[in-house]
Structure 1
């Protein structure tokens, strides 16, 4: 059987995911396919997208590139909203968007302390806290030496979805330092903001 291949090398986020989604819509009869990307963030994003869409796939290194291979066939339709994004039991979905590792533009030390206290207090939102998204400088909150790493891990263990921007990790050279959450892309972020009942942004 002829395996279809998408070459997404050189494509900026979220293009590899969007190209993959378009491919799935246009090739409903495909059984075996693979996607080639040139950075780990894109590879993790594509793999996560396929898994959320119901595909079994493996991630392989191909020299300096990455190959995501699926042999599980295509579902009847690519879901627009993942099952985990559907509202359950009437709960509100609060999405917290963290765009920096501190709060405010004043004193740096004070701003970092405020962000730490904010994250430590997020548990007070209870079951309504649905998702935390870290992007731009906020990805520093999800790395190994982060002062709030333990708090974020505890929230994740309690069922909060923690997503970390892959493009931002690549930009800051922190891809290998990520220690909590799943690598995400702008498609996931926009979709999440769209289905959230409330977005809190810092």
Structure 2
């Protein structure tokens, strides 16, 4: 069994280390990946399920988790033959729609009070467009916009109901200790955020 130590790593490092370990496997086998946060457990589990791997996880102690994966010979072979560019999507393949990437709770520089007003106005105006973005990605200070108490929560919920996919960075939510306050969309990881931005036809950063 291959063991992958990803303690202290943040996404997408555990995923990258795991994929590299799979490429070193000789036929069917098992992996144990050790991480120190639940977000990494969720990210690894999601990746494994998407690819059809057997996967389970357990908490070993304070800030120590184990993710166990089982792969068939064909699954290992598929990973070995996958192009290296799979880690960061092909920049020439713009298959997605418009992505709005929000890294702060304010818009522009200068007055913070004005910046908050502008961001609220931006998201309201965005929600009124005939053509909505495919994704809204919220990271760093932008993660607060999807939380309980956000002035823009109603506009974001309306856009989600209209089909917009909203992703809040899990590492950011953990850092700011707001994961349990997120009220709209899903908790994602940096691998997903990069993937959506790389595949987007346009990326808007208010």
- State the TM-score bracket (shorter-chain normalisation): 0.7 to 0.9
CA positional deviation for 1:161: 2.4
Instruction: Tell me the distance in 2 between the aligned counterparts of 1:18 and 1:152.
Output: 31
Shift of 1:200: 0.1
| Residue of structure 2 in register with 1:172 after alignment | 176
Aligned position for 1:122: 126
- Structure 2 counterpart of 1:68: 67
Gaps of 5+ in 1: none
- Structure 2, unaligned runs of 5 or more: none
Partners in 2 of 1:196 and 1:28 — Cα distance? 36
Is the contact between residue 45 and residue 166 of structure 1 (CA under 8 Å) also seen in structure 2?
A: no
Q: 2:32 aligns with which of 18, 31, 34?
A: 34
Question: Aligned partners of 1:27 and 1:127: how far apart in 2?
Answer: 46
Query: Which position in structure 1 is the counterpart of 2:7?
Result: 9
User: For the Cα contact (< 8 Å) 1:134–1:141, is it kept in 2?
Assistant: yes
Q: Distance in 2 between matches of 1:99 and 1:25?
A: 34
TM (norm. structure 1) is 0.77
Partner of 1:187: 191
SS at match of 1:169: helix
Instruction: Note the C-alpha offset of 1:42.
Output: 2.1
TM-score by length of 2: 0.76
In the TM superposition, 1:79-118 aligns within 5 A as 80=86, 87=95, 93-118=97-122
> 1:4: how far off?
3.7
Aligned Cα RMSD in Å? 2.9
Moved more, 99-108 or 68-77: 68-77
Q: Flag the structure with larger Rg.
A: 2
106-115 vs 7-16, which deviates more?
106-115
| CA shift for structure 1 position 86 | 8.1
Shift of residue 96, structure 1, vs aligned partner: 0.5
